[in-house]
Amino acid sequence: MAQAAERAHLRLRAAILKGEYRSGERLGEVELAESLHVSRTPVREALHRLAAEGLVEIEPNRGARVAHWTREDLHEIYELRALLEGSAARRAAERADGEVLAALSGLCDAMDSAARPGRQRDLDRVAVLNAEFHGLIMATSGSPRLAAMLGQVVHVPLVARTYHRYDEAALARSMGHHRELAAAMRSHDGPWAESVMRSHVHAARCVLSAALEEGTPPDEQEVGP
């Protein structure tokens, strides 16, 4: 039973994070049990675990739903990201070796190529490479605590297609931030790296805020660049 609950938890969590379930969508135990090929008991346990993680809301007599995120929630998420990723960038700059620096530079080249205007532009590819870039910085920071804290902040299924919201100026600014972060890493300048990372995250928040002002629902966003 414990293994079934663990599998149900991991599969439901992944589905929510991928945006397969929208914010506020009902999560019926019977339907989930059928789709996951398990009984209702492991599903119920999985839902309670997801509720503890903040991904699901459970109300008496109404069942479980995917958590709803407000503008205030999103702004708080970005504030925390700026603090945590800024700290990670500072630590990473002090630790980055030649292999890490080469990888960061290569990711910058690949992002620039994927973001180049024209028919070959691939913003989904940019998003994947961006995640690798940020993940490498976090890994280089050498702080499992920071990584765990950041995982709790950014695991919400918001902004799956953030780069599709960027105009040309915002996209160029984001690519420039990546280049400057790589330069700060090469200089092993922690305060510089931290400052650029915080600016980078706050700039992404501004793009999201603008989208929300235009009436785009938060569940169509993702915490990305």
Is residue 161 very low, low, confident or very high in pLDDT (cuts 50, 70, 90)? very low
Q: Tell me how far apart the alpha carbons of residues 99 and 91 are, in angstroms, rounded to a whole number.
A: 16
**66 sits in which H/E element:** strand 63-66
pTM over 0.75: no
pLDDT tens by residue, 178-209: 999 999 999 999 999 999 999 999 998 888 77
Quote the tokens at residue 186. 């090469």
Question: Which residues, 6+ apart, have CB-to-CB distance to 141 below 8 Å?
Answer: 87, 88, 89, 91, 92, 95, 147
CA neighbor of 48 nearest in space, from 63, 34, 68, 30: 63
pLDDT at 210: 73
d(C-alpha 19, C-alpha 37), whole Å? 21
Helix (H, G, I), strand (E, B) or coil at 159: strand
- What pLDDT is stored for residue 183 in this prediction? 98
Tell me the per-residue pLDDT of 22-71, one tens digit each, with 9 for 90 and over.
778 899 989 998 998 899 899 999 999 888 877 888 988 788 998 876 77
Contacts of 7 (CB under 8 A, 6+ apart): 36, 38, 42
Dihedral pair phi/psi, residue 175, rounded to 5°: -65, -40
| Cross-strand pairs, 148 | none
